Chains A and B, each alone.
Chain A
Amino acid sequence: MSDSFPPSPVRRRLRQGRDRLATVLVTAGGIGVLAALLAIGVFLAIEVVPLFWPTGGTQTVSQQALWLPQEGADVPAGYRWDPTATLAADEAARVSLVPLAWGTLEAAAWALLIAVPLALGAAAHSALFMAPRLRSRLKPTLELMEALPGVVIGFVAGLVLAPWVERHLADVLAMLVLLVPGLLLAGGLWSRLPPRLQQAMPLGWAGLWLLPWLLLVLAAAHALSPWLEAWAFGGDLRHWLDVRLGLDVAVRNAMIVGMAMGFAVMPSIYALAEDALSGVPRSLAEGAQALGATRWQTLWRVVLPAASPGIFSAVMIGAGRAVGETMIVLMASGNAALMTWNPLDGLRSLAATIAIELPEAGPGGLHYRLLLLAALLLFVFTFLVNTLAELVRTRLRRRYRRLGNGA
């Protein structure tokens, strides 16, 4: 509108200059970010090199010691992380990064196992079925959860949740067992209600009227747990696990980490998936329903595939955060460098190990370089997760673009 008459040459040159300046600044910013990222990788790689090629009398470690199980002089063979061990003359270094990598991935897997179904379920419900008024309250609240610092979540998980779960193991098990049937039962009962009651409790407000029902289910689980423990586990679940399955229950274990970190990554997965789902053109879902598809069919066959690139990147961003998360794992896991499938055992992650041990490792020493190698491994992990996410997302988007545009 300001171009309705030709600008003076001075003004034009000024504007061109400003344009050029902006271009330079934007480009410099982009290159700067890339350079910083690259510099981190290069720094880690350079610091790690002396571990493998001795330069000026630095200590080295063999690849076998890092990645393969080692025989000890007087201890069982296995993967061990004990970088400050006093070694006997013929003993290999105990610096395997395998249990740490295992712990990182195990913690992330448990967190995603808990967070993904909950977050995606919540996202689908709030994007498609929830009453707009409830949704406008709920969404900001859930997104606010994302702002909770990891330290706070880790503190609550490690010092409050973990001892409570350990004391009430049977209750927790009963709750897990009863929760899904309890919710399905609620759905079954609702569909059989007389229409007048159904209108009083519409599906869009299920988020509210299900709460008392949930509390009821949990109370029932609490009441039933002594009976369940007596009937199925001979009166003492922990004893039963110990004697029958040979499983020990650590107070701070992978399950606790999974719950806490699941709680931490849930909001970001929810927020992104919700945006993706509500971005699907309304006409697609309406068309499907007009052709006779049920709500479930519409969600499962039409809306989910159309939103899949966004949902996938939501899950991957959650995975990236779970792999790199430090404080929650540090405070809730007990930091025992174990490699087991037992979710009630402790674990130890790369990030937590770096956080605990780096301040005490003398710069330039073997321990210091090992920790930087762990950092490099973590960097590679998150890099792989993000690259994979981007690749799959672009492929999915290309496949479903026609679907979205054609509507």
Chain B
Amino acid sequence: MSAVLSRWLVPWLLLVVLCLPQAPARAEEIAGTLGAVGSDTMAGLMLRWGEALTRQHPGIRLQLQASGSASAPPALVAGTTRLGPMSRPMNEAERRAFIERHGYPPRELAVARDALVVVVHRHNPLESLGRRELDAIFSDSRRCGAREGIQRWRQLGLDRPEGRIRLHGRNAASGTQGLFRRIALCDGHFRPEINEYPGSAAVVAAVAEDPRAIGYAGLNHLTPGVKALARRDASGTRHFPDPEAVRRGDYALSRDLYLYLNLPPGESLPAAERAFLDLVLSPAGQAIVEELGFVALPEARRLRQRRGLALDETGR
């Protein structure tokens, strides 16, 4: 038995071993698992990028753990991942913790544009809200300067819908809630009666079923059941959250989506990460961004970041 085995097996094994070193040289094959920990807003985006990457390089798999932006920095600090998608920039404490551990700052890459939309029921006649009105609706601190709180639709000059405004939003500690607090509430305090949901889709669903509701959610979660409101600036100009206004930042509730890398200065990217970022910052990668309802980066920024990572000029 063992004689048969060795007689047949050994030559085959030898053949396989001999062939191995040649295989990567032929197709420039990269293999491995790419781990990422972070934002749930970007989960769909990361997965689609991961799929596209596997199509280009069948050996690479992206393994994503999407438990919120706040989970990315601890994972990067602990070294359990080298890739942290975040829907907000790292704050000072998170950055400091990273530098303390690794001795150099994390590498920040903007990979897409996103916006928060304020949504109402599709039959609600409201079209736009000013900065102070929005703050007066969602906060009871009114740090943006409104004189009194707004709790009823009547106070917005509407006779329909009747009654009180019902508030919906994201949960505490989410990147989305933090951004809304910073920009729309001028760092103020949310009203305690605001309903909190662990995802933007749930917020939109709750608003879509209730004519008296208002809520905020990520741009990519818009459905036909809700209407996104325009934001009036100080001069009274209305800015709708359309792709152009989000890309240029005219719509004030827009933001960048980031990837944070653990990349020691002077070192070049490992092959798998390099392939991933090459894809993300390519026209194809940005097309996936648009497909999922986010907004692609401005072309100049995309190219600048490619140069920064020493990727070839345009991407495939």
Contacts and interface: CB of A to CB of B under 8 A. Distances in A.
Interface of A: 72-76, 78, 80-86, 94, 99, 159, 163, 166, 238-239, 242, 248, 250-252, 330, 334-338, 345-346, 348, 356-357, 359-363, 367
Nearest to B195: A334
B173 A360 contact: yes
A259 B70 CA distance: 35
A252 B182 CA distance: 27
Interface stretch (B109-117, B205-213, B307-315): B205-213
Interface stretch (B135-143, B227-235, B249-257, B259-267): B135-143
B195 A360 contact: no
B186 to A, nearest CB: 9
B70 A251 contact: no
Contacts of B73: 362
A242 B164 contact: yes
Nearest to B209: A163
Nearest to B181: A86
7 contacts: A75-B189, A251-B213, A336-B195, A357-B173, A360-B69, A360-B171, A362-B71
Contacts of B283: none
Contact of B192 (A80, A251, A330): A80
B70 A361 contact: yes
Interface of B: 67-71, 73-74, 94, 140-143, 162-164, 166, 171-174, 177-178, 181-182, 187-190, 192-198, 205-206, 209-210, 213
Contacts of A74: 141-143, 188
Contacts of B174: 360
A251 B68 contact: no
Nearest to A371: B173
Given A74-B141, A82-B189, A360-B68, A346 B173 contact: no
Nearest to B139: A75
Given A74-B141, A74-B142, A238-B163, A356 B196 contact: yes
A359 B181 contact: no
B195 A346 contact: yes
A78 B193 CA distance: 13
Contacts of B67: 359-360
B262 to A, nearest CB: 17
A239 B162 contact: yes
A363 B73 CA distance: 11
B166 A250 contact: yes
Mostly helix, strand, loop or mixed at chain A's interface?
loop
Contact of B172 (A73, A84, A238): A84
B173 A337 contact: no
A73 B172 CA distance: 20
Contact of B193 (A82, A84, A336, A362): A336
A393 B195 CA distance: 40
A362 B90 CA distance: 12
B71 A360 contact: yes
B197 A335 contact: yes
B192 A338 contact: yes
A146 B315 CA distance: 57
Given A84-B177, A360-B173, A346 B187 contact: no
A80 B189 CA distance: 10
Contact of A360 (B70, B187, B190): B70
B19 to A, nearest CB: 45
A336 B67 CA distance: 22
B163 to A, nearest CB: 6
A335 B192 contact: no
B67 to A, nearest CB: 4
Contact of B189 (A85, A361, A362): A85
A345 B73 CA distance: 37
Contacts of A85: 181, 189
A270 to B, nearest CB: 32
A407 B210 CA distance: 61
Contacts of A81: 192
B44 to A, nearest CB: 18
The 8 closest A-B pairs by CB, nearest first: A334-B195, A360-B68, A360-B173, A86-B187, A359-B67, A335-B196, A360-B70, A356-B171
Contacts of B71: 359-360, 362
Most chain A Cβ neighbours within 10 Å, of B69, B181, B182: B181
B196 A361 contact: no
A86 B182 CA distance: 9
A362 B42 CA distance: 19
A359 B39 CA distance: 11
B210 A251 contact: yes
B74 A356 contact: no
Most chain B Cβ neighbours within 10 Å, of A74, A94, A159, A359: A359
B91 to A, nearest CB: 10
Contacts of A356: 171-172, 196, 198
A338 B192 CA distance: 6
Contacts of B177: 84
Contacts of B140: 75-76
A211 B173 CA distance: 49
Given A86-B187, A238-B163, A346-B193, 6 more contacts: A75-B140, A86-B188, A251-B210, A336-B196, A356-B172, A361-B173
Contacts of B196: 334-336, 348, 356
Contacts of A76: 140
A27 to B, nearest CB: 39
Contacts of B94: 362
Contacts of B143: 74
Given A74-B141, A86-B181, A360-B67, A250 B192 contact: no
